[in-house]
Amino acid sequence: MIWRTTTMPTAFVTHADCLKHEMGAHHPERPARLSAISDQLIASGLESYLTKFEAPLATDEALARVHPLDYVKAIREVAPNRGTVHLDPDTAMNPHTLNAALRAAGAAVMGVDLVLSGKFSSSFAAVRPPGHHACRARPMGFCIFNNVAVAARHAVHAHGLERVAIIDFDVHHGNGTEDIFENDPHVLMASTFQHPFYPYSGTEDPARNMVNVPLRAGAGSKEFRAAVRDAWLPALEGFKPELVLFSAGFDAHAEDDMAMLRLADADYGWVTEQVKAVADRYAKGRMVSMLEGGYSLSALARSVVQHVRVLAGLNA
Ligand SMILES: [Zn+2]
């Protein structure tokens, strides 16, 4: 295998609106997650290799490829002018949430456009709210719009791609993404997740385009890497994606007490290298990554650095 060190820069897409979305003083999905990531990118020296972009607001056209317009309209209507509105027990909107959610989905569109323009080989979006629990017409688990799904549909419908892979290594199963893409021939989704665990999906008769590998509580690097090698990589080789998207959640880290998997910082670099080799072979190296979970600020920030370092084609 020949390792290509990319000379094209990596895009870093974010927006200040994503820092203003808050769901309560003690909510784990909090603005400090994004600050921790930017601080660590600076401290590691990686920031100087990234080109920063401000995420646009997603258009109804981009959202409607994933969510019924009635759902988008309902979210716009329920958005409060002051105070907090709960969409489910875990998911709330403050007056800034609507714009944050539109920026997060807009970052997905922008990442795809930047990478498919040929000017960037990869893109990482540091945005919130996350997206992979958002179903076609239902917010869920901190998520309002399914950002990675918006990216995939944009790549297929606006750019004419035939095959897009979604890699989801968040500790929770991406039930929303599965809801949106089950049996969609343009998409292959490969995921690992703790099971049995929230949202208790992904194991009952998954569709053929879903490569779901449940991992037991306590599983760590060894089990995760075996899942990637034995299940993900053969499926990706068969699918030959033209673009690779990541639902990049970092809550399977051993230091993250949201769940009970035990990944280490290095696993995030390793899995990105494995997937990058596939992207280099079939997708001209094109990768677009969207932040999902990750609630231990230090582990989150260090793991993002490992992931983005490999996206950017840099050695350790
Ligand atoms: Zn998660």
pLDDT tens-digit readout, 155-205: 999 999 999 999 999 999 999 999 999 999 999 999 999 999 999 999 999
Q: How far is the CA of 236 from the centre of ligand 1 (A)?
A: 23
Q: Is residue 48 helix, strand or coil?
A: helix
Please provide the distance, in angstroms rounded to a whole number, between the alpha carbons at the two ends of the chain: 18
Q: How far is the CA of 16 from the centre of ligand 1 (A)?
A: 22
Q: What percent of the chain has pLDDT over 90?
A: 96
Query: Which candidate, 250, 259, 181, places its Cα nearest to that of 37?
Result: 250
The residue with tokens 């309209």 is 73
Q: How far is the CA of 46 from the centre of ligand 1 (A)?
A: 25
CA 203 to chain centre: 20
pLDDT at res. 287 = 98
Over residues 72-82, the pLDDT tens digits come to 999 999 999 99
Assign residue 295 a region (left: φ > 0; alpha: ψ between -120 and 50; beta: otherwise): alpha
Q: How far is the CA of 2 from the centre of ligand 1 (A)?
A: 33
**DSSP characters for 57-107?**
PPPHHHHHTTS-HHHHHHHHHH--SSS-EEEETTEEE-TTHHHHHHHHHHH
Residue among 21, 96, 132, 133 flagged as catalytic: 133
pLDDT at res. 2 = 36
In this predicted structure, the answer to whether residue 150 has a pLDDT above a threshold of 90 is yes
Q: How far is the CA of 289 from the centre of ligand 1 (A)?
A: 15
Q: How far is the CA of 132 from the centre of ligand 1 (A)?
A: 8
pLDDT at res. 168 = 99
pLDDT at res. 4 = 42
Q: Is 133 a catalytic residue?
A: yes
Q: How far is the CA of 160 from the centre of ligand 1 (A)?
A: 30
Asked whether 57 and 51 are in contact (CB, 8 A), the reply is: no
Q: How far is the CA of 292 from the centre of ligand 1 (A)?
A: 7
CB-based contacts of 107: which residues, under 8 Å, 6+ apart?
Answer: 13, 14, 15, 55, 125, 127, 147, 290
Q: How far is the CA of 271 from the centre of ligand 1 (A)?
A: 17
Torsion of CA 30, 287, 44, 28, to 10 degrees: 10
Task: Give the confidence band of 8 by pLDDT, cuts at 50, 70, 90.
Answer: confident
Over residues 272-308, the pLDDT tens digits come to 999 999 999 999 999 999 999 999 999 999 999 999 9
Residues within 5 Å of ion ligand 1 by Cβ? 170, 172, 249, 251, 293
Range with the lowest mean pLDDT among 2-11, 146-155, 258-267? Answer: 2-11
Question: How many Å apart are CA 269 and CA 172, to the nearest integer?
Answer: 19
pLDDT at res. 5 = 52
Question: How many Å apart are CA 234 and CA 72, to the nearest integer?
Answer: 37
Give the CB-side neighbour count of residue 228, counting CA atoms within 13 A: 21
pLDDT at res. 234 = 98
